[in-house]
């Protein structure tokens, strides 16, 4: 995309992209420039002064974090003077930092420790300073201990970049403290407990509340995976020790706007070890669920399905993996031979409204939201809200199209509230009027649109933008896609992590839909995954195959336990259409969905092969282009995203520390 330039660092010449930040450019070349306050992907503030380097032609040392590389730049990162200055700064910081590295949780990943080690600072040569701040330990998520704080301000900046604006400096200079407004505990200050501050804190000042004596970084094994708790499908890094999940961090690249996970993703893992897990297969015998062996349970299921055949219904969620979904589809259609297959995805979208071309969000310089209401505070697609807010703070433009005022419209450059389809139509017309398109079909479709001043302003933003990205709700996708025919890309935002994958794997209703099946009447209803249905539908037999003991599971006749999202591997297709890997982080005795299906199939004298990677890849084909379609809002796809996401995560919330949010009244 951008040109490469030659720069010389410490006598060696490298090729790096033009205009790149010098710290990041040096990192590319394998040279570390010390820094404490720099956050990748954000503008440097030059507070710590550790990144001083010498650049030929400049008088004194300059800071690298605010320097962009130019062709022919000659940089020295390690001169005696620079080393002395760095040592001096670390020496000063160490003079006000506790020297208890032997019991400190952050030992091993503490930047201050690394630099003190590098400069051989056993203890500071300056006067020891102690301020005796009291830590904030009033919540089960984030512990703040200002005694360890080095005032780098990274947490404050990340909190502001996301627009959560909870953390702020109190006072200035030495003795200042990072805290909330009026020094209140986090839960009383509007904190969403996303924990982004944990990810950026270079020392022990902010970290997970339960980390004390739960192992240190070198004890952990790390696995890159994807969170499956909502449509955001964020990248995560799962740290495990002795087969237990110890913590989860955001996993997107450091410089990416997508580096964010919400409280669900970060702290919901408690549920895996909770009492809410289903641990053994169960059968309803004499009106009561009794634990039975796997063999007995599966034999029973095989019998049931053989008898019921076509009169069986299958329901699943949009968060099961592609591999499971494909196996499930084959099992239901080829082995059980029923057409009644559907997923919760049908509640808010279908093949036409969900499958949008692959898009990138990091590069977009204009975001248009249509009909979606992401919010970090309600944790409905929290990551999308955070990404949009970060992008807007970073200079991107935002147009919000919604039927009513939503929190996001507060930061929008153009806010269009009312008839969403009308707005999309009018913007399209305005763009055609500007001569950006000569498409006849579109011209005809938009004839009757009214172009107002706000619409004109929106169209100007689109005209000026290099890479606009439209994030639309499935119900508005058709109309939004028309806009993308002229410029940019349109993405249909799904509410569940693998909604698109589930459809691509063929889990679309050809018989009864999920709503029909939930009404009852079938002989056997087979529920796969923790489907958010609270009442047992009126069916002869209910089979529940899931991870947690939900109300529905309690009312089932057969209960089969399966591995949770951190205990199984596979792939998903996220809302942007990217194929993402989900990797098993911990071992479990529970089988995955696909194993269960394979065994039942065997008992039914049919063979099902585990899907191969190539097969999945072949099936994951998203349309590359859109066709003009009518400007209309699809009926029956409007559900309350917040309540839906809360209900699909209900087992996770109720079985983890997230329940505290409800009990403390922080989550409404």
Partner 1 sequence: MTEVKEKKVEDIKKEAESLKCPVQRSLYYIKEFLAGPMCGRCFPCEMGTYEAKIRLENLVEGNGTDEDIEALRRIMKYMLTASMCMKGKNTARFVLEWLGLEEFNAHTKGECPQMECRGLIRYRIIPELCIMCGECKKVCRFNAILGEERKPFQSGFLPFEIRQRRCTSCGECIKVCPTKAIILESKAVFEAMMVKR
- Per CB under 8 A, residues contacting partner 1 are 45-50, 52, 60-61, 81, 84-85, 88-89, 92-93, 95-96, 125-127, 129, 151, 169, 172-176
Lookup result for tokens 């201990």: 145
Closest separation between CB of residue 203 and partner 1, Å?
Answer: 14
Decide whether 124 or 373 has the Cβ nearer to partner 1: 124
Q: In angstroms, rounded to a whole number, what is the distance separating the alpha carbons of residues 552 and 532?
A: 8
Sheet bearing 62-63, strands edge to edge: 12-17, 4-9, 73-76, 52-55, 62-63
Whats the size of the chain, residue-wise? 668
Closest separation between CB of residue 155 and partner 1, Å?
Answer: 16
Closest separation between CB of residue 361 and partner 1, Å?
Answer: 32
Residue 345 backbone dihedrals phi, psi, to 5 degrees:
-60, -35
Closest separation between CB of residue 44 and partner 1, Å?
Answer: 11
Q: In angstroms, rounded to a whole number, what is the distance separating the alpha carbons of residues 651 and 653?
A: 6
Residue 305: C-alpha distances to residues 286, 294, 360, 539 (Å): 21, 16, 43, 14
The full DSSP string for 62-101 is: EEGGG-B--TTEEEES--HHHHHHHHHHHHHHHTTS---T
Closest separation between CB of residue 369 and partner 1, Å?
Answer: 35
Decide whether 88 or 660 has the Cβ nearer to partner 1: 88
The tokens describing 41, both together, are: 């992907």
Decide whether 120 or 288 has the Cβ nearer to partner 1: 120
Decide whether 128 or 466 has the Cβ nearer to partner 1: 128
Decide whether 117 or 126 has the Cβ nearer to partner 1: 126
Q: Are 154 and 165 in contact (CB under 8 A)?
A: no
Number of Cβ within a 10 Å radius of residue 373:
23
Of 144, 145, 153, whose CA–CA distance to 39 is shortest?
Answer: 153
Residue 339 backbone dihedrals phi, psi, to 5 degrees:
-100, -10
Closest separation between CB of residue 27 and partner 1, Å?
Answer: 21
Q: In angstroms, rounded to a whole number, what is the distance separating the alpha carbons of residues 202 and 328?
A: 45
Decide whether 128 or 290 has the Cβ nearer to partner 1: 128
Decide whether 126 or 212 has the Cβ nearer to partner 1: 126
Decide whether 169 or 294 has the Cβ nearer to partner 1: 169
Closest separation between CB of residue 151 and partner 1, Å?
Answer: 8
Q: In angstroms, rounded to a whole number, what is the distance separating the alpha carbons of residues 358 and 622?
A: 7
Closest separation between CB of residue 33 and partner 1, Å?
Answer: 14
């Amino acid at each position: 995309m951008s040109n490469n330039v030659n720069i010389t660092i410490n006598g060696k010449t490298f090729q790096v992209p033009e205009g790149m930040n010098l710290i990041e450019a040096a990192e590319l070349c394998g040279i570390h420039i010390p820094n404490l306050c720099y956050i990748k992907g954000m503008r440097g503030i030059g507070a710590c002064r550790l990144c001083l380097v010498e650049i030929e032609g400049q008088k004194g040392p300059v800071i690298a974090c605010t320097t962009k590389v130019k062709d022919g730049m000659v940089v020295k990162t390690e001169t005696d003077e620079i080393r002395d200055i760095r040592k001096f700064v670390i020496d000063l910081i160490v003079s006000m930092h506790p020297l208890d590295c032997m019991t400190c949780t952050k030992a091993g990943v503490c930047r201050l420790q690394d630099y003190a080690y590098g400069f051989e600072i056993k203890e500071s040569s300056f006067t020891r300073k102690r301020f005796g701040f009291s830590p904030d330990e009033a919540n089960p998520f984030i512990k703040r201990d200002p005694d360890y704080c080095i005032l780098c301000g990274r947490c404050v900046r990340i909190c502001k970049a996301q627009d959560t604006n909870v953390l702020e400096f109190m006072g200035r200079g030495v003795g200042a403290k990072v805290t909330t407004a009026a020094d209140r505990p986090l839960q009383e200050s509007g904190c969403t407990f996303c924990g982004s501050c944990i990810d950026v804190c270079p020392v022990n000042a902010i970290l997970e509340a339960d980390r004390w004596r739960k192992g240190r970084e070198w004890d952990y094994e790390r696995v890159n995976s994807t969170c499956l708790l909502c449509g955001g499908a964020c990248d995560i890094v799962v740290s495990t020790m002795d087969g237990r999940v110890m913590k989860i961090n955001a996993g997107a690249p450091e410089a990416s706007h997508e580096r964010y996970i919400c409280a669900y993703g970060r702290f919901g893992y408690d549920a895996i070890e909770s009492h809410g897990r289903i641990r053994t297969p169960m059968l309803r015998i004499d009106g009561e669920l009794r634990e039975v062996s796997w063999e007995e349970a599966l034999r029973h299921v095989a019998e049931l399905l053989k008898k019921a055949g076509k009169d069986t219904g299958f329901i699943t969620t949009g968060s099961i993996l592609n591999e499971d979904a494909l196996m499930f589809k084959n099992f239901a259609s080829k082995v059980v031979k029923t057409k009644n297959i559907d997923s919760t995805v049908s509640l808010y979208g279908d093949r036409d409204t969900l499958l949008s071309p692959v898009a990138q969000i990091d590069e977009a310089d204009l975001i248009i939201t249509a009909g979606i209401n992401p919010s970090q505070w309600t944790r409905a697609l929290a990551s999308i809200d955070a990404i949009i807010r970060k992008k807007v703070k970073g200079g991107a433009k935002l147009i919000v199209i919604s039927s009513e005022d939503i929190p996001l419209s507060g930061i929008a450059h153009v806010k269009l509230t009312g008839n969403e389809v009308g707005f999309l139509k009018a913007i399209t017309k305005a763009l055609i009027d500007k001569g950006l398109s000569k498409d006849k079909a579109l011209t005809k479709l938009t004839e009757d649109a009214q172009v107002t001043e706000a619409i004109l302003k929106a169209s100007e933003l689109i005209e000026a933008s290099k890479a606009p990205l439209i994030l639309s709700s499935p119900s508005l996708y058709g109309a939004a896609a028309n806009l993308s025919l002229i410029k940019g890309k349109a993405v249909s935002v799904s509410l569940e992590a693998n909604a698109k994958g589930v459809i691509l794997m063929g889990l679309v209703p050809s018989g009864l839909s999920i709503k029909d099946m939930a009404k009852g009447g079938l002989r056997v209803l087979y529920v796969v995954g923790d489907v958010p249905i609270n009442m047992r539908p009126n069916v002869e037999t209910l089979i529940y195959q899931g991870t947690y003991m939900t109300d529905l599971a309690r009312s089932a006749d057969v209960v089969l336990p399966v591995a949770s999202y951190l205990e199984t591997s596979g792939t998903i297709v996220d809302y942007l259409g990217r194929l993402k890997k989900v990797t098993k982080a911990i071992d479990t005795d529970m089988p995955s969905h696909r194993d269960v299906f394979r065994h039942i199939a065997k008992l039914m004298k049919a063979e099902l092969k585990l899907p191969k990677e190539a097969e999945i890849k072949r099936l994951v084909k998203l349309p590359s282009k859109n066709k003009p379609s009518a400007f209309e809002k699809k009926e029956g796809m409007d559900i309350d995203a917040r309540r839906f996401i809360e209900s699909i995560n209900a087992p996770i919330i109720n079985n983890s520390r997230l329940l505290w949010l409800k009990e403390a009244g922080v989550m409404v």
